[in-house]
Amino acid sequence: MKKIRLSKTNRINFATFGAVILAYAVFQFMSGTGMLSSTIRGQLVPICAYVTMALSLNLTVGVLGELSLGHAGFMSVGAFAGAVAAAALPIDSDPLRLAASMVIAALAAAAAGTLVGIPVLRLNGDYLAIVTLAFGQIIKSIMENLYIGIDARGLHFSFLENRIIFRDGGRMLLNGAMGVNGIAKISSFTAGFVLVMLVLAVIFNLVDSRAGRAIMALRDNRIAAESVGIPVTKYKLMAFVISAAMAGAAGALFALGQNTITANKFDFNTSILILVFVVLGGQGNMWGSILAATFLTVLPETRAMRGLADYRMLVYAVVLILVMLATNNPTIQDFINTRFRRKKKKGGAAK
Amino acid sequence: MLIFLNHLINGISLGSVYAIIALGYTMVYGIAKMLNFAHGDVIMVGAYICFFSVSSFNLPPAVGVVLAVLACTALGIVIERLAYKPLRQATSLAVLITAIGVSYFLQNGAQLLWTSNIKMFPSFFSASPIGLFGGELKITIAAIVTVAACVVIMLGLTWFTGRTRMGKAMRACSEDKAAAQLMGINVNATISMTFAIGSALAAIAGVLFCSVYPTLTPTTGSMPGIKAFTAAVFGGIGSIPGALLGGVLLGVIEIFASAYISTQMSNAIVFAVLIVVLLVRPSGLLGKQVREKV
């Protein structure tokens, strides 16, 4: 039984990799031959960033079973760290500079994730949701009051008001609420594709490892997992910090594809949008997240959907509620099972 | 010294609003064991209803408050029935996601209905403050009313949960739902009642909050909502006196932080308090340590 399930997971994993590679090839071909409209072409890097965000949040929500409502906050940390690093690093080659910036962004977001995770993840209950919600707000007010400049002597930091005095040749990198301006666009669709593949590989390998099984055991029954000697905080923190690091890398990818980024780009709405990707794609289902993130990023840009722009958020809210009701209410579940899955036996107790 | 006292009074008044909101969180959490994210947005709905009944229909403020309370009570019951009741057996993650969905729904529904333009909430209380110490220490009427409302609500709730049949049923449900049901308590009705009370309090809190901070937008409720949750955790979630203590302390901390440290960072400082509380004493100031039964 176990062996069959494992090979099924492997099949799905390889199919996911294959589909991502295929999608990359198709989009690359279409954009090369001019078949994509310029709006969609401009969306290619953000799509990769949002797919990475969705995968990262799915690691927290689907695999770890905790809710993060401040994932945009980690994206923000990554975006600003990445943008500042890209402007400050003395590397000539663009792809190398992008890679280095993304690593720095991932480390910064991982540090933020550790800071949030340590007090919260040792507790039992829904504290992570509210603390990450608060974290998203704190990051916004910190980024709006942070000033970073660079001159020949190195980086200068200033908080709350701009007190940076430059020697000649100095320039501002992060200008408080004005954000980062004049970013050199070094992100590319290929870089985004590599990031998505990398994140997928990390998640699939993590889920299939000893640590991953421990994390999922914690999700399914914390008390039982604890009683067989799984250290709760360690594994929860591990999954959460990895998830935060991925969000940071996605933030850097996103920021380095824009001219300007400001802190309010990464607000509560962004966190909810990413949660909608995960919920709609299915918790713990990675290819579902990729599909949902791609479609929900492209769909609002198409002409047919423009008129519904005002109702978009409302629809997202309804989607969250309805998907939860449909997948968790025993009455509705029974109805679906008797109607559509008569042959299948209900697998494993769903709690 | 007088400036310090002024800040202290402002802090206590703001904290009383947080305390009233925190009560709603704490009661729902105590009974349904769920974090009702939509609570903050019920505050916003209450404030809007009061705003429109006073400024569009020219009703007296008292009627506006009563209408807001009635509407929010109904809203709380409807939300519970449609969104939370079907998920009573579900995992806490599913309930949390639903709750955030409801919160987001209310915010964006309000945005469509009432647009995101700022509405200036009318002030119900006379603007001239009472002066003490030869007029140097000023106490606004709004501050007095807020604190008084908070004290009255707190006493009323303590009496309600301690003495009435319904209140005892609530405490029984929060202790052990299955046992309460075996004793003939209608658990579903009790949970609905809790949501109704919490939402009615949210309406009052909404009006009081907007009397002090009169800019009303569809996202007005979310910040005080998160802060009131912080207050509830600070005081010990599930405990009614804890909500009062936590709310007032948090209000004072917020006002002092913005007066003496930095206005922009006052929110961040308030949330830092939450993290410190979770690190040092996760069960809160007045909460009891409950041992887990397997």
**pLDDT per residue over B99-140, tens digit each?**
999 999 999 999 999 888 888 888 777 667 777 666 667 788
- How many residues does this entry show for chain B? 294
**pLDDT per residue over B221-238, tens digit each?**
888 888 998 899 888 888
* Confidence tier at B292 by pLDDT (50, 70, 90): low
Query: What is the predicted pLDDT for the residue at B282?
Result: 81
Query: What is the predicted pLDDT for the residue at A351?
Result: 40
Q: Tell which of A324, A329, A336 to mutate to test the B interface (max B CBs under 10 Å).
A: A324
Q: Using CB atoms within 10 Å of the CB of residue B95, give its burial: 0 to 12 exposed, 13 to 18 middle, 19+ buried.
A: buried
CB contacts, 8 Å: A134 with chain B: 226, 230, 271, 274
Q: Tell which of B21, B34, B41, B104 to mutate to test the A interface (max A CBs under 10 Å).
A: B104
Q: Return the HEC string of chain B.
A: CHHHHHHHHHHHHHHHHHHHHHHHHHHHHHHHCCCCCCHHHHHHHHHHHHHHHHHCCCCCHHHHHHHHHHHHHHHHHHHHHHHHHHHCCCCHHHHHHHHHHHHHHHHHHHHHHHCCCCEECCCCCCCCCEEECCCCEEECHHHHHHHHHHHHHHHHHHHHHHHCHHHHHHHHHHHCHHHHHHCCCCHHHHHHHHHHHHHHHHHHHHHHHHHHCCEECCCCCHHHHHHHHHHHHHHCCCCHHHHHHHHHHHHHHHHHHHHHHCCCCHHHHHHHHHHHHHHHCCCCCCCCCCCCCC
Radius of gyration, CA atoms only, chain B: 19
Taking the CA of residue A205 and the nearest CA in chain B, the distance in Å comes to 24
CB contacts, 8 Å: A131 with chain B: 271, 274-275, 278
Which tokens in the block code for residue A302? 């198409």
Provide the residue type at B141 as one letter.
I
Selection from A60, A318, A323 nearest residue B94 by Cα: A323
Please state which of the ranges A9-13, A17-21, A166-170, B86-90 shows the lowest mean pLDDT: A166-170
DSSP assignment of A221-288: -HHHHHHTT--HHHHHHHHHHHHHHHHHHHHHHHHTTSS-B-GGGSSHHHHHHHHHHHHHH-TT-HHH
User: Is the CB of A314 less than 8 angstroms away from the CB of B105?
Assistant: yes
Query: What is the predicted pLDDT for the residue at A341?
Result: 62
What kind and span of H or E run contains A4?
helix A2-32
**pLDDT per residue over A168-200, tens digit each?**
667 788 887 788 888 888 888 999 999 999 999
Would you list the domain boundaries of chain A?
A: 44-267
Selection from B84, B283, B165 nearest residue B173 by Cα: B165
CB contacts, 8 Å: B275 with chain A: 116, 119-120, 131
What is the C-alpha to C-alpha distance for residues A9 and A141, in angstroms, rounded to an integer?
42
A175 DSSP 8-state letter: E
CB contacts, 8 Å: A127 with chain B: 233, 278, 282
How far from B35 is each of A125, B21, B174, CA to CA, in Å? 10, 13, 14
What is the C-alpha to C-alpha distance for residues A137 and A266, in angstroms, rounded to an integer?
10
Whole-number mean pLDDT of chain B? 88
Which tokens in the block code for residue B29? 């959490």
pTM across the whole model: 0.87
What is the C-alpha to C-alpha distance for residues B202 and B27, in angstroms, rounded to an integer?
12
Q: Tokens 């052990």, residue?
A: B176
What is the C-alpha to C-alpha distance for residues B252 and B13, in angstroms, rounded to an integer?
9
Buried b (16+ CB within 10 A) or exposed e, B52-87: bbbeeeebebeebbebbbebbbebbeebbeebbebb
Distance of CA B41 to the CA centre of its chain: 10
Q: Which residue of B has its CA nearest to A222?
A: B294
Phi then psi for B132, rounded to 5 degrees? -115, 165
* Confidence tier at A1 by pLDDT (50, 70, 90): very low
Q: Using CB atoms within 10 Å of the CB of residue A5, give its burial: 0 to 12 exposed, 13 to 18 middle, 19+ buried.
A: exposed
- pLDDT of B249 higher than 70: yes
User: Is the CB of A275 less than 8 angstroms away from the CB of B264?
Assistant: no
Taking the CA of residue B214 and the nearest CA in chain A, the distance in Å comes to 21
* Confidence tier at A304 by pLDDT (50, 70, 90): low
Query: What is the predicted pLDDT for the residue at B79?
Result: 94
A300 DSSP 8-state letter: G
User: Is the CB of B35 less than 8 angstroms away from the CB of A329?
Assistant: no
* Confidence tier at B58 by pLDDT (50, 70, 90): confident
Provide the residue type at B188 as one letter.
N
What is the C-alpha to C-alpha distance for residues B222 and B37, in angstroms, rounded to an integer?
9
- Which residues numbered 87-126 in B keep a CB inside 8 Å of some CB on A? 87, 89-98, 100-102, 104-105, 107-109, 111-112
ipTM tops 0.90: no
Distance of CA B9 to the CA centre of its chain: 19
Nearest CB to A119 within list B87, B107, B278: B278
**pLDDT per residue over A202-247, tens digit each?**
999 999 899 999 999 999 988 899 999 999 999 999 999 999 999 9
What is the C-alpha to C-alpha distance for residues A36 and A29, in angstroms, rounded to an integer?
9
Taking the CA of residue B24 and the nearest CA in chain A, the distance in Å comes to 16
Selection from A118, A110, A7 nearest residue A59 by Cα: A110
User: Is the CB of A317 less than 8 angstroms away from the CB of B278?
Assistant: no
User: Is the CB of A317 less than 8 angstroms away from the CB of B108?
Assistant: yes
What is the C-alpha to C-alpha distance for residues B274 and B261, in angstroms, rounded to an integer?
18
**pLDDT per residue over B203-225, tens digit each?**
999 999 988 888 899 888 888 88
What is the C-alpha to C-alpha distance for residues A59 and A53, in angstroms, rounded to an integer?
10
- pLDDT of A348 higher than 60: no
**pLDDT per residue over B65-93, tens digit each?**
999 999 999 999 999 999 999 888 888 88
Q: Tokens 């949750």, residue?
A: B229
CB contacts, 8 Å: A142 with chain B: 265, 268
